[in-house]
Amino acid sequence: MNGVYLEKLQNDDREQFIKDNQEAFNYGALEEFGLRDDHFEEEGEIISRKTIETSIDSGEALRIMLDGRKIGGAVVKVCGEKGELDLLFVSPKEHSKGIGFAAWQAIEKRYPDVKVWETFTPYFEKRNIHFYVNRCGFKIAEFFNKYHPDPNEPDMCDEDGQFEDGMFRFEKRMDGDKK
């Protein structure tokens, strides 16, 4: 999509970035579960302020822009040839317009030395699963659940965890599908 580009997050936009991220994540969960959702990290939020702040502080936060308007954001962590897409969100008002895909392409272009990208999404985020697998070329690499916990966050998918029913780990190899 023409007009989509990335800008580094400015300090004076940090608070709005957090609110925009929470709105986008809440929209996805409420779309899937309605008001019966029980996947909240903190009162009324699918993703907590602390989670977003930790992500911003440990990676590079980027604003997704369209013709000068802030319409989403991303946080990436790059270490050599490995990249992690920690957060990616687009305003629900802008969904289904190709903006997320254009933003992903801009991220790939911004980090040409990354050979393997990784990201995660909850099992219930059908839009995200479609987006990463069918649009962006990621492969499902792992499905974390109570029978196969994430070694880095073993409590995330247990009976008391936020994602009791599981999380997908996606991987995209920039050299094709070679393992």
Tokens at 67, concatenated = 């013709």
Share of the chain residues as helix, strand and coil, in percent rounded to the nearest 5: 35, 30, 35
Could you give the CA distance from residue 176 to residue 155 in angstroms, rounded to a whole number? 33
pLDDT of residue 41: 46
Kindly report the pTM of this predicted structure: 0.81
pLDDT digits (tens, 9 = 90+) for 124-179: 778 889 999 999 999 998 876 676 566 676 565 445 544 556 778 899 999 865 55
pLDDT bracket for residue 27 (50, 70, 90): confident
Right CATH number for 4-173 from 3.30.479.30, 3.40.630.30, 3.90.1200.10, 3.90.230.10?
3.40.630.30
pLDDT bracket for residue 36 (50, 70, 90): very low
pLDDT digits (tens, 9 = 90+) for 56-107: 999 999 999 999 999 999 999 999 999 999 999 999 899 889 999 999 999 9
- Kindly tell me if the per-residue pLDDT of 9 is higher than 60: yes
pLDDT of residue 51: 87
Tokens at 164, concatenated = 């009791």
Torsion of CA 83, 105, 96, 138, to 10 degrees: -50
* Domain spans in the chain, listed from the N-terminal domain onward: 4-173
Which amino acid is located at 55 in the chain? S
Comparing C-alpha atoms, which of 113, 175, 106, 166 is closest to residue 139? Answer: 175
